[in-house]
Structure 1
Amino acid sequence: MSTKDYLEKDYYKVLGVSKSASQEEIKKSYRKLARKYHPDANKGDADAEDRFKEVSEAYDVLSDDKRRKEYDAVRSMPGGFRGQQGGGGFPFDLGDIFGQTGGTQTGGAGERIGDLFGGLFNRGGGTRTTGTGTGTRRARRGADVETDVTLSFGRAMNGVTVPIKLTSEAACPSCRGTGAKAGTVPRVCPNCEGTGHETRNLGNFGFQEPCRECHGRGLVVDDPCPTCHGSGRKQSDRTIQARVPAGVADGQRIRLKGKGAPGENGGPQGDLYVNIKVLPHKVFGRTGDNLTMTVPVTFPEAALGAEIRVPTFQGQPVTLRLPEGTPNGRTFRVRGRGAARRDGTMGDLLVTVDVQVPSKLDDRTREALERLRDAGAGEDLRGELLQQARTE
């Protein structure tokens, strides 16, 4: 997301809280909105999905005290950052703010503002500086990693800890991440003077991009490491234990913060996103937090009423009372026998009856049914239907 997007968004308004709201109020509002707009509860609703992303983005900033202070400081600056002088804003462009004009600023407002932005926008592969002056090394956040996990219906319902094997890049053990051959050291990039980036001006805005000479590292390797060929990175395998919460649904995406690829030059690790696939059950289905099932009943049970026993998931069967004249396809609710919700409560079990018609009749059953048919011979169930079909 661009700097302009961050500065123009009112995260307090997105969450519906005041600027003086406490962390508890922010968390409470976020949870309420997240439940309302969660993709699992609004399947196929693109507007709800976009709203959910906005709410999550706002919470990421406001729930962190440091980011919130930086965000408040930026928002309180008069006139905002609208480009160069003559565009209605401060008399410098965004490149000047970040100290990206080919040199570094030490002391003064420019450096303080650059530090402020560096902290606020150090996300999604962002960078932060370590050290001062020319030749500054840039700490880089590790990349986000995505993987798929397939679970049985029961493990998804109960929750489970699963081992996940990840292959990601880490610092090369031979050169310890410098990219230079043993006995040599990289030199500061002469193009960006070690900052790892350069500024490209577009009208009234200045945008940073990785240095084309050092590709964002801030260093140039003359004698590359034979193991990593100068990249300073090497693929490595590791296994982590990921906890999948009880009640996770098919298609749900779980974020594990700080479990992604390692950072560079002291930068934080990225995040791990786990896509959940739940295998179907032979008896139970699922709609949201409710479990579903279909139970066969006989015609006499549906017509005369009955008490039938139905299974529950990993629990004792329950007795369901069918009223007299229960139609085929009617659904009954058994409360508290569904999937676990995030707030600790349980969904319900929805039982749909399927009236079975016998394919073979003995003489006694046939005689009884014929008497039933004769008893209702005067009732024309389809008369109204036929009459309505004739109308235009």
Structure 2
Amino acid sequence: MFDADYYELLQIERTADERTIKTAYRRLAMECHPDRNPGCKDSEARFKAISAAYDCLKDPQKRAAYDRFGHAAFQNGGMGGGGAQDFGSFSDIFENIFGEFMNSGQGDRRSNALRGSDLRYDLEISLEDAYQGKQIDLRIDTSVRCEPCDGTGAKAGTSARRCTMCDGRGQVRASQGFFVVERTCPTCRGLGEVIADPCDQCRGEGRAEKQRSLEVRIPAGVDEGTRIRLSGEGEAGVRGGPSGDLYIFIHLARHALFQRDGTTLFTRCPISFTTAALGGAIEVPGLDRQMHEIRIPAGIQSGKQLRQRGAGMPVLNGRGHGDLVIQVEVETPTKLSARQKELLEEFRTTETGEECPASSTFFNKLKTVWEGLTD
């Protein structure tokens, strides 16, 4: 079997790429490994053969030599490593195949410092502050680097030592049947180091609870749900690890006059029925602290919207402003003087129906429907 073609042993084409070779080896090795076939000499011999084939074909230089000279490339000391090889436990297959994903060897040890957690802060501001932008002072309860030990977690004059349980990797392995499972080292909690003499202040964590003060600039144009990220302003890391981030979520307080939709501001504005009939102008205060004159066309109806360009909210991190939209509500007078009533009665006697075409059309339709029902 050792003289068989390596490509035939792995059941692959000669043009197979590295991934195909690895997949084929993994499948065949699991089928014929001696641990799964105890006492079977054929399985043991086949496993050695496919292991030799994989050892050759996974190496570009060995594969090139094999493609040119065949098995002769590894005879008489040529290249080496092409013959039969010893096999270890079934977990060695996974070490060979998945080695790049597992922490093997001291060069792959994990960092002994863990990143701090991110923090969230919900901040409510007024619509005026969202328009203008604002500098805000925040006080946040969080973890900061321990000053006595400078974040190391060890008492001054001492230092951490490598964890003997995991040999500094932060992970320990356990065999479960045919598989190898990695889990966090229970001794060092995945840090790879243990502290024999911890700092009295932080008890080996390298950080302590403290209230911090921060100055935060809220940019103009922020909206409900806007998220502001402050890098490195979250919780301090464990034993000198990098700090997390602080995320500020913006919430807008209800405004007495305006509602907002993106960069557009909306408001309802009542006008007198004489202004609605004759036309005119009104002034509306904007969030830009300016008075905006809105022209009212004669004959305007309730619910009609008028738009003032550029009087809305600023564009966040951009240029320009949205619009201010005024929705007109025609108000019917409730308190009239005798003279006003007299004038309105005089106006009513002169009505022809053309003054209010919508109502005339409606009542004409109503009359037609009624006549159809009574026929």
TM-score in terms of structure 1 length: 0.61
Contact in 2 for aligned 1:95/1:208 (Cα 8 Å): no
Alignment correspondent of 2:145: 171
Structure 1 residues 28-78: Cα deviation after superposition (integer angstroms, max 9, x where no partner):
xxxxxxxxxxxxxxxxxxxxxxxxxxxxxxxxxxxxxxxxxxxxxxxxx96
Match among 288, 291, 294 for residue 320 of structure 1:
294
Task: Return the alpha-carbon distance in structure 2 between the equivalents of residues 324 and 201 of structure 1.
Answer: 87
Alignment correspondent of 1:97: 100
* Structure 1 position 347 matched with structure 2 position 322: yes
* Structure 1 position 237 matched with structure 2 position 237: no
Over 3 Å counting, the alpha-carbon distance change for 1:225 and 1:268 in structure 2 is closer
Task: Write out aligned runs for 1:68-79 (5 A).
Answer: none
Contact in 1 for aligned 2:152/2:240 (Cα 8 Å): no
Contact in 1 for aligned 2:308/2:323 (Cα 8 Å): yes
Alignment correspondent of 1:160: 134
Over 3 Å counting, the alpha-carbon distance change for 1:86 and 1:376 in structure 2 is farther
The alpha carbon displacement at 1:297 in A equals 0.7
Task: Return the alpha-carbon distance in structure 1 between the equivalents of residues 295 and 190 of structure 2.
Answer: 70
Contact in 1 for aligned 2:263/2:322 (Cα 8 Å): yes
- Other structure's SS at 1:276 match: strand
Return 183-192 or 142-151, whichever deviates more.
183-192
Task: Return the alpha-carbon distance in structure 2 between the equivalents of residues 280 and 347 of structure 1.
Answer: 19
Q: Match for 1:251: what amino acid?
A: G
Alignment gaps of 5+ in structure 2: 1-17, 29-57, 59-92, 354-359
Task: Return the alpha-carbon distance in structure 2 between the equivalents of residues 138 and 334 of structure 1.
Answer: 60
* Structure 1 position 381 matched with structure 2 position 362: yes
Return 171-180 or 240-249, whichever deviates more.
171-180
- Other structure's SS at 2:328 match: strand
Match among 258, 264, 273 for residue 290 of structure 1:
264
- Other structure's SS at 2:344 match: helix
Contact in 1 for aligned 2:152/2:239 (Cα 8 Å): no
Contact in 2 for aligned 1:151/1:278 (Cα 8 Å): yes
Over 3 Å counting, the alpha-carbon distance change for 1:196 and 1:143 in structure 2 is same
Return 317-326 or 377-386, whichever deviates more.
377-386
Task: Return the alpha-carbon distance in structure 2 between the equivalents of residues 345 and 172 of structure 1.
Answer: 46
The alpha carbon displacement at 1:335 in A equals 0.5
Alignment correspondent of 2:162: 188
* Structure 1 position 214 matched with structure 2 position 163: no
- Other structure's SS at 2:27 match: coil
Contact in 2 for aligned 1:83/1:205 (Cα 8 Å): no
Task: Return the alpha-carbon distance in structure 2 between the equivalents of residues 371 and 347 of structure 1.
Answer: 46
The alpha carbon displacement at 1:147 in A equals 0.9
- Other structure's SS at 1:365 match: helix
The alpha carbon displacement at 1:386 in A equals 8.2
The alpha carbon displacement at 1:157 in A equals 0.8
The alpha carbon displacement at 1:376 in A equals 4.3
The alpha carbon displacement at 1:285 in A equals 2.4
Over 3 Å counting, the alpha-carbon distance change for 1:169 and 1:373 in structure 2 is same
The alpha carbon displacement at 1:306 in A equals 1.8
Count matched residues: 283
Q: Percent identity?
A: 35
Structure 1 residues 318-347: Cα deviation after superposition (integer angstroms, max 9, x where no partner):
222222221112111100011111321211
Task: Write out aligned runs for 1:270-289 (5 A).
Answer: 270-289=244-263
Task: Write out aligned runs for 1:1-392 (5 A).
Answer: 85-86=26-27, 92=94, 96-100=99-103, 103-104=104-105, 106=107, 137-182=111-156, 184-198=158-172, 210-264=184-238, 267-342=241-316, 343-376=318-351, 379=360, 381-384=362-365
TM-score in terms of structure 2 length: 0.64
Over 3 Å counting, the alpha-carbon distance change for 1:181 and 1:361 in structure 2 is same
The alpha carbon displacement at 1:270 in A equals 1.7
Task: Return the alpha-carbon distance in structure 1 between the equivalents of residues 24 and 184 of structure 2.
Answer: 21
The alpha carbon displacement at 1:105 in A equals 5.4
Alignment correspondent of 1:133: none
Over 3 Å counting, the alpha-carbon distance change for 1:382 and 1:171 in structure 2 is same
Contact in 2 for aligned 1:261/1:270 (Cα 8 Å): yes
Alignment correspondent of 2:13: none
Task: Return the alpha-carbon distance in structure 2 between the equivalents of residues 202 and 356 of structure 1.
Answer: 81
- Other structure's SS at 2:128 match: helix
The alpha carbon displacement at 1:204 in A equals 11
Task: Return the alpha-carbon distance in structure 2 between the equivalents of residues 375 and 334 of structure 1.
Answer: 37
- Other structure's SS at 1:156 match: helix
- Other structure's SS at 2:26 match: coil
The alpha carbon displacement at 1:299 in A equals 0.3
Q: Match for 1:362: what amino acid?
A: S
Q: Match for 1:104: what amino acid?
A: G
- Other structure's SS at 1:139 match: coil
Task: Return the alpha-carbon distance in structure 2 between the equivalents of residues 222 and 296 of structure 1.
Answer: 76
Contact in 1 for aligned 2:264/2:324 (Cα 8 Å): yes
Q: Match for 2:105: what amino acid?
A: T
- Other structure's SS at 1:138 match: coil
- Other structure's SS at 1:86 match: helix
